[in-house]
Chain A
Amino acid sequence: MSGVLSSSIGRKVAMAASAFFLMFFLLQHFVINITSIFSPETFNELSHFMGTNPAVQFVLQPVLIFGVVFHFVMGFILEARNKKASVKYVKNNGAANSTWVSRNMIYSGLVILAFIVLHFIDFWIPEMKYKYIDFLPESPNRYYEELVHKFHSPIRTGAYVASFAFLALHLLHGFKSAFQSSGMSAKRAAKLETVSKIYAIGIPVGFIVIALFHHFNQH
């Protein structure tokens, strides 16, 4: 078992496992955020639960941070190893046999990494400061106002929209690729094509709608 993670296949499977975890997290994040469009009360309620539940705060949150860091670190390790294994051609026609997104996961990933840094600065760090540094009293109705306030800036909203577009590109290849790396046959993975596209396009477009909705509905 110890040799598995040091092998090329083991690293692929570990990358896929962290991808599955992050895709599940993204789905639940989306489900909570989309409620902010329809019902600020529901959004506040769910956010209050996520922000105060000890299991979420002290078990799931560290696991999530580990998952995010692991996915990025493993991505960089794989990229470095692949660069080391390859030699550049004078003329290479990559478009003849593969999609742009599949060949450029590292770049879409880097944009997503930059977005996560921005997202942490915008929401996670102020939240940690509020609760665990300033020890301010919990206000169950503050979440919706904080969210709307963040999307006041057109620059920040634009950055979020652009990042979600790159997230879609990343998922368009990553969703199917995770299944294939885990050993699912290409034929079965092909059957997931529709689900893959719905997830890869639907979730980021949903996040874009949320960002634009709050930007254009400032009060």
Chain B
Amino acid sequence: MNMNLKLKIWRQNGANDEGKMVDYSISDVSPDMSFLEMLDVLNEQIISEGGEPVAFDHDCREGICGMCSLYINGEAHGPDRGITTCQLHMRKFKDGDTIYIEPFRAKAFPVIKDLVVDRSSFDRIQHAGGFISVNTSGNTQDANAIPISKHAADEAMDAATCIGCGACVATCKNSSAMLFVGAKVSQYALLPQGQVEAADRVKNMVAQMDLEGFGNCTNTGACEVECPKGISLDNIARMNREFLKANI
């Protein structure tokens, strides 16, 4: 059965605007719609009424790119687990529901407009060390010739599934980016190719993370619960170990 919903959406015209929640009503919402499709319909409605559509991030719409954000009814990516907002369906809501839609909030994620936030702080952390320096002169050793245990390969792959969406920061009461940085540090620290630069990597990435103004992890575990890719808290512990090893 199609639904009628009330929406409370954060509207903010640029980083310097104060911003406020604005009420909208939307009717005839199919439970099979994705959440973003529901917002598309809302925007068509707003445009037809001569208003300015709600700005929100989206790209692949299949849970891979990490672009769609949104804090829905008090949770990053809404009331479901292991998904991004584009994978959230309206069947998770009931007819007559009021849905709160806010941007991912953190000082290090300033609002650009409405529900769109600037997550380039993650890019700068990656630039600080989230890579390996490979000699591409033509004499590079075949990666398959380096033995790696199945366990390490699996854990590195699990860490590498982080799509950098920022849900960990958004849901953390401290706006800590340690799950994201922990995943990026871990995916290399677990593999021989990444171990050569492991000390510099963790020091530089943590320094950049601190410079961007993210908070301190207090192990509430909310990030792990809300992460669409199920990145484990183990990655934070591994980053802490790598950091201590690099500094002491």
* In the complex, per-residue mask of B219-248: 1 if CB is within 8 Å of any chain A CB, else 0: 111100110000011101111110110011
- One of A1, A3, A93, A181 near B219 (C-beta < 8 A): A181
- One of B203, B215, B225, B240 near A82 (C-beta < 8 A): B215
Contact (Cβ within 8 A) A186 B75: no
Count how many chain A residues have C-beta atoms less than 8 Å from C-beta atoms of the other chain: 43
Contact (Cβ within 8 A) B219 A82: no
> A4 — which chain B residues lie within 8 A by C-beta?
243-244, 247-248
Chain A CB within 8 A of B114 CB:
no
Contact (Cβ within 8 A) A85 B215: yes
Chain B CB within 8 A of A88 CB:
yes
- One of B220, B221, B234 near A187 (C-beta < 8 A): B234
Chain A CB within 8 A of B74 CB:
yes
Total A-B contacts with CB atoms under 8 angstroms apart: 143
Chain A CB within 8 A of B174 CB:
yes
Interface stretch among A58-66, A99-107, A130-138, A162-170?
A99-107
Chain A CB within 8 A of B175 CB:
yes
Q: With the chains together, A142 CA to B176 CA distance in Å?
A: 51
Interface stretch among B33-41, B105-113, B128-136?
B105-113
Chain A CB within 8 A of B21 CB:
yes
Q: With the chains together, A181 CA to B241 CA distance in Å?
A: 9
Contact (Cβ within 8 A) B75 A90: no
Contact (Cβ within 8 A) B100 A90: yes
Residue of A at shortest CB range from B215? Answer: A85
- One of B218, B234, B239, B241 near A102 (C-beta < 8 A): B218
| Interface size classification for chain B | 35 or more
Q: With the chains together, A93 CA to B108 CA distance in Å?
A: 21
Chain A CB within 8 A of B210 CB:
yes
> B248 — which chain A residues lie within 8 A by C-beta?
1, 4
Q: With the chains together, A84 CA to B212 CA distance in Å?
A: 12
Please name 15 further chain A to chain B contacts, defined as beta carbons within 8 Å, in addition to the given A1-B248, A98-B222, sorted by A numbering.
A4-B248, A8-B206, A86-B107, A87-B105, A91-B8, A96-B75, A97-B220, A102-B221, A103-B220, A105-B218, A177-B219, A180-B233, A180-B236, A180-B237, A185-B238
Where the two chains meet, the residues of B that have a C-beta atom closer than 8 Å to any C-beta of A are 8, 10, 21, 71, 73-75, 79, 100, 102, 105-108, 171-176, 178, 203, 206-207, 209-210, 213-222, 225-226, 232-234, 236-241, 243-244, 247-248
For the complex of A and B, 7 pairs with smallest distance between CB atoms: A93-B74, A85-B215, A82-B174, A183-B241, A97-B225, A98-B220, A87-B105
